[in-house]
Amino acid sequence: MTERSPPRPARGRDGLVVAVTGYTCSGKSEFAKLLQSKGFRRISLGDLTRAAARRLGRPIRRHETWALFKSLAEKDPAWRVPKVLEALASGPGGNVVIDGIRTREEAEGLRGALGSRLWLVEVRVSEAVRLRRAMARRRDVDPTTWDRAALRRWRAMDREEVRMIDRVRPLVEAVVRGDEAP
């Protein structure tokens, strides 16, 4: 049996699209910003969710936008895909990084539309590192101390997200292997 190399990214007329997934505080946005500093155009899926919250007159705090995202994803797990494809079509050509894939259906929808132009990347770090980062950034749902109540709230939200991201992982691994999506 011979080992297969990962497929070479297709750099068609519209460039490479890197879609980044990972748990809260894993470093997704930092990775996306690094690619942005190298000339990639960045599309933040969190920005799409915050825009939906603004249109609905909802607060723009992480806890509320997460609840809104979950409710919209329950109805249509790929609800952000058409918005991403519109942003890709309306923006300049070249390479793009999509920051914040959360559902398998988002990954599948983008892969179906973009084919080999799309590379899925998962950013992973330990839970301890993620908790330290959450404490340091001090967003409205992140624990600012290690008290049990704050940690319990953060972990409850985190468990929901982990379940979502864990459903995306087989697609990331298929892209790396050059296989069809499972």
> Residue 149 falls within a domain, yes or no?
yes
Backbone angles phi and psi of 122, in degrees to 5: -110, 130
Domain-embedded: residue 164: yes
Residue-level pLDDT at 4? 44
CB 175 within 8 A of CB 166: no
CB neighbours of 98 closer than 8 A, spacing ≥ 6? Answer: 17, 18, 19, 20, 32, 43, 45, 84, 110
Report the candidate in 32, 69, 67 with the shortest Cα–Cα distance to residue 49: 69
CATH number, residue 92: 3.40.50.300
Indicate whether 28 belongs to any domain.
yes
> Please, what is the angle between helix 45-55 and helix 62-75, to 10°?
90
3-state class (DSSP) for residue 100: strand
Which letter does DSSP use for residue 116 in this model? Answer: G
**Residue 70, in any domain of the structure:** yes
Containing structural domain, residue 133: 17-176
- The model's pTM is 0.82
Structure confidence at residue 91 (pLDDT) = 82
Question: What per-residue confidence (pLDDT) applies to 90?
Answer: 87
Provide the domain count of the chain. 1
61 within a domain of the structure (yes/no) = yes
Q: What pLDDT, on the 0 to 100 scale, is given for residue 27?
A: 92
- The verdict on residue 37 lying in a domain is yes
Q: Which two tokens stand for residue 174?
A: 């298929």
Long-range contacts of 66-69 (CB under 8 A, 24+ apart): 66/141, 66/157, 66/160, 66/161, 69/102
pLDDT at residue number 13: 45
Inside any domain, residue 182: no
Q: What is the DSSP string of 148-177?
A: HHHHHHHHHHHHHHHHHHHHHHHHHHHHHH
Distance CA(8)–CA(11), nearest Å, equals 9
Asked if residue 6 belongs to a domain, the reply is no
pLDDT tens series, the chain, 182 aa: 444 444 444 343 478 999 999 998 899 999 999 999 999 999 999 999 999 999 999 877 777 888 888 899 999 999 999 999 999 988 888 999 999 999 999 999 999 999 888 999 999 988 889 888 887 876 665 666 667 877 777 788 888 888 888 889 888 887 767 776 55
